[in-house]
Structure 1
Amino acid sequence: MTDRYETRRSALFDELPESVETVYVAPSETLRYLSGLSMHQSERPTLLVLSRETEPAAVLPKLETDRVADALGDDVSFYTYGDATDPTRAASEAFDRLAEERELSGEAAVEFRSTRVLEYNLLTDYHDPASIRDLEPAAAALRARKDDSERESMRKAARIADRVLQETFEDIEVGMSERDVERAIEKRVIDSDADSYAGGIVTVGERTAFPHADTGHTKVEEGDLVMIDFYIRVDGYFSDITRTVAVGDPGEKCREVYEVVREAARAGREAVAEGVPYQNVDRAARRVIDDAGYGDYFPHRLGHGLGLEGHEPPYLVEGNEATLDVGDAFTVEPGVYVDGVGGVRVEDDVLLTEEGAEVLTETPRDLRIL
């Protein structure tokens, strides 16, 4: 019986030009997608080798053999090497054995974003660098179309994120620091059914005007905005949510900005439909912000894909003329950031299903005064 990973590996070649004979996959989320293997990059070069006509092969340290065999079964050929003072040289010798047996040549594909020079250099003795293509467009096209199992994992991740966020709101009070708030979130995630807390940003007061600041030690004061943005993983799949709340009355200007962003987020979500260009969803939200006079204060794209990574294709940004397809999962997260005043971002996770746009995150979007 063909398993989901075999099906994905076969489908990958359907997304590539027929001239590509070999695919090399380094440790990455694409490796996990194609094999079920979750491997970190280390000083030991590792490559999964796929071809149209022959069984998979792996160039890897000997100590990883059992784990890879469990994932790929008995049909994989191993080209292993032991620990050495120079693991790169040892890996190169293993790759030479593979190349000799497989007669490697012709066009190949690797994922430029995740493949290090360490692995890439193994290929260049056997493939002209000019013939090596970027695998990411093909891999991204597959990974973007979430199947039923992936969708359910993302729904679960969003449910947990909603619960954690709303419980954390009850903790926030004057005198707490940004780090205090993030620790409260992280503790709740650890105590939940999520795989892990995957990172976040908490900013307070005027620091909310920095779209991507690090969580710091600034303490909450009466009237401050508090922006909370965090990721969690469930079954390897991400949720990503942002809400901005106020501790006491934030003032008329902050209320105005909040309403503009809330309306922009609504417009973005409502623009989601099969066949709509990604850039049009960005445009729908951005139009609201531009019309309100805050266009110069919205410096980032509207959203990014979600899946095995917190940021992955597709990107909802001007210039992306590709169109939304069933199975796409992504964020819709407009923001307005005004120096000396503060910033507001409202972020939701959206899945495009056969029935239309499904908003996975449900935490209320009205301005919450704590």
Structure 2
Amino acid sequence: MTPFAAHVYADRRRRAAALADEAGLDGVVVTPGPDLTYFLGYSSSTTSERLTLLFIPASPAGAEPDGIAQALAVVPRLEEHDLLRGAVGPVQAVAWSDGDDEHAAAAGLLRPRGRYAISDAAWALHVLGLQRALPGTGWLPVTRALPMLRAVKSPEEVERLAAAGAGADAVFDEIVQRRFAGRRERDVADDLAALLRDQGHEQVDFTLVCAGANGADPHHDAGDTVIREGDMVVLDFGGLADGYGSDTTRTVHVGEPEPDEREVHDVVRAAQAAGIAAVRPGATCQDVDRAARRVITDAGFGEHFIHRTGHGIGLTTHEPPYLVEGEATPLRAGMCFSVEPGVYLPGRFGVRIEDIVVAFDAASPQGARRLNTSPRGLRLVE
């Protein structure tokens, strides 16, 4: 991805330090994956057994301890040059060599018996190693301890999400021009992947094509099922463009639909519109879920809406906040998330409609702005 300016990463670390301080933590330990990219502008392998981490010490808002303006990182010596060259802004690196106790090296940055948030994707090998090096230290997953760490997006991040969404919209506009009947689901999925790359996606995360009864499985993998005349087909696809995610779902029909198929599609479309309309000042994540779910329940399909209404998106296609009953987190300006209700009728078909929205930005200060604009009506394909 194209890096942001150095001050952006330093500001993110300052915010993390302040959030950790407010939560009564001693700091945040960041391991390879989206968190490391977010705070350092540097990507390291998530499959390597060697320990790499960034340490952000807790501090009150406005403070400037070491590890914020100058990042504090632990890195294998053979990757130290890559870190110093790839990170955006100054880094103080603690390098360890093969044969060293890397967890002891990392423990030198931490406070004995402290409490730390650590990246969700941290290897158990390293969490347990740090516990061994610092007995009595407490560890919490970042998304539980600091769930809003990456949830509120800057205008620059929203711009990238909007560009990724526009690319996904262009993919939909192209795919519906192609033939569906007589082709396998996986053939259409391959087309979607190629089109996403044509639209600037450096990473394709999923291309779900769910024909007929397969549409009743929300996460059906595209397979050898041949798409036939009369099938409802759920298309759910997305990935990363310039480091930020796209994720959109549209449901199409091969040929003319039956009245009940059109009815279900209309219900889901109304539910999605209700969910997006529920994004307003004072609303919570669960309010969006409730608004969408109410429409589907009132139409008699409540038992067939079997997942949450949405999820956050950013450097990954699924991250906090989650739009689900019980999540009372207030919506905040800059939160970006999907709104994707669905109805799934076992043995028959499924319908889902999904857009990414941003809450309360300059273009929609009292509501949600859709970052997907492709048509939501039931599109007929050949």
TM-score by length of 2: 0.89
Map 1:91-110 → 2, pairs under 5 A: 93-100=101-108, 102=109, 104-110=111-117
Distance in 2 (CA, whole Å) between partners of 1:284 and 1:136 is 25
Q: Is the 8 A contact 2:16 2:56 kept in 1?
A: no
2:202 matched residue in structure 1? 195
Q: Which amino acid aligns with 2:370?
A: V
Choose which of 23, 33, 36 in structure 1 pairs with 2:41: 36
Q: Is the 8 A contact 2:107 2:134 kept in 1?
A: no
Q: Is the 8 A contact 1:144 1:329 kept in 2?
A: yes
Mapped pair 1:12 → 2:16: yes
Distance in 2 (CA, whole Å) between partners of 1:298 and 1:314 is 20
1:327 partner SS: coil
1:181 partner SS: helix
Which deviations, in whole Å up to 9, do the C-alpha atoms of 1:204-238 show, x marking residues without a partner? Answer: 11111111111111111111111100112112110
Structure 1 residues 347-356 or 157-166, which shifts more?
A: 347-356
Distance in 2 (CA, whole Å) between partners of 1:63 and 1:79 is 9
Distance in 1 (CA, whole Å) between partners of 2:356 and 2:180 is 27
Choose which of 286, 289, 310 in structure 2 pairs with 1:282: 289
Choose which of 274, 278, 289 in structure 2 pairs with 1:271: 278
Distance in 1 (CA, whole Å) between partners of 2:243 and 2:147 is 16
Distance of aligned partners of 1:349 and 1:249 in 2 relative to their CA distance in 1, 3 Å threshold: same
1:306 matched residue in structure 2? 313
TM-score by length of 1: 0.92
Q: Which amino acid aligns with 2:17?
A: F
Q: Which amino acid aligns with 2:81?
A: D
1:245 partner SS: strand
Distance of aligned partners of 1:139 and 1:30 in 2 relative to their CA distance in 1, 3 Å threshold: farther
Choose which of 328, 340, 343 in structure 1 pairs with 2:347: 340
Choose which of 70, 84, 92 in structure 2 pairs with 1:76: 92
Q: Is the 8 A contact 1:174 1:220 kept in 2?
A: yes
Q: Is the 8 A contact 1:196 1:232 kept in 2?
A: yes
1:168 matched residue in structure 2? 175
Shift of residue 94, structure 1, vs aligned partner: 3.5
Distance in 1 (CA, whole Å) between partners of 2:92 and 2:114 is 22
Mapped pair 1:219 → 2:226: yes
Q: Is the 8 A contact 2:74 2:95 kept in 1?
A: yes
Q: Which amino acid aligns with 2:215?
A: T
Distance in 2 (CA, whole Å) between partners of 1:26 and 1:319 is 29
Which deviations, in whole Å up to 9, do the C-alpha atoms of 1:26-68 show, x marking residues without a partner? Answer: 1121111111112222122222223253333322222221221
Structure 1 residues 141-150 or 49-58, which shifts more?
A: 49-58
Mapped pair 1:63 → 2:78: yes
Structure 2: any 5+ residue segments left out of the alignment? 59-64
Mapped pair 1:3 → 2:7: yes
1:143 partner SS: coil
1:144 partner SS: coil
Q: Which amino acid aligns with 2:94?
A: F
Shift of residue 25, structure 1, vs aligned partner: 1.1
Shift of residue 138, structure 1, vs aligned partner: 5.4
Structure 1 residues 343-352 or 185-194, which shifts more?
A: 185-194
2:55 matched residue in structure 1? 49
Which deviations, in whole Å up to 9, do the C-alpha atoms of 1:138-163 show, x marking residues without a partner? Answer: 55313111101101000100100000
Distance in 1 (CA, whole Å) between partners of 2:223 and 2:106 is 50
Q: Is the 8 A contact 1:59 1:95 kept in 2?
A: no
Q: Is the 8 A contact 2:230 2:253 kept in 1?
A: yes
Choose which of 116, 120, 123 in structure 2 pairs with 1:116: 123
Mapped pair 1:235 → 2:246: no
Distance in 1 (CA, whole Å) between partners of 2:116 and 2:241 is 30
Q: Which amino acid aligns with 2:348?
A: V
Distance in 2 (CA, whole Å) between partners of 1:164 and 1:183 is 12
2:156 matched residue in structure 1? 149
2:61 matched residue in structure 1? none
1:357 matched residue in structure 2? 368
Distance of aligned partners of 1:74 and 1:350 in 2 relative to their CA distance in 1, 3 Å threshold: closer
2:276 partner SS: helix
Distance in 1 (CA, whole Å) between partners of 2:212 and 2:90 is 58
1:337 partner SS: strand
Q: Is the 8 A contact 1:198 1:231 kept in 2?
A: yes
2:280 partner SS: coil
Structure 1 residues 114-123 or 289-298, which shifts more?
A: 114-123
Shift of residue 5, structure 1, vs aligned partner: 0.8
Mapped pair 1:324 → 2:335: no
Whichever structure has more helix as a proportion of its residues is 1
Shift of residue 305, structure 1, vs aligned partner: 0.5
Distance of aligned partners of 1:187 and 1:134 in 2 relative to their CA distance in 1, 3 Å threshold: closer
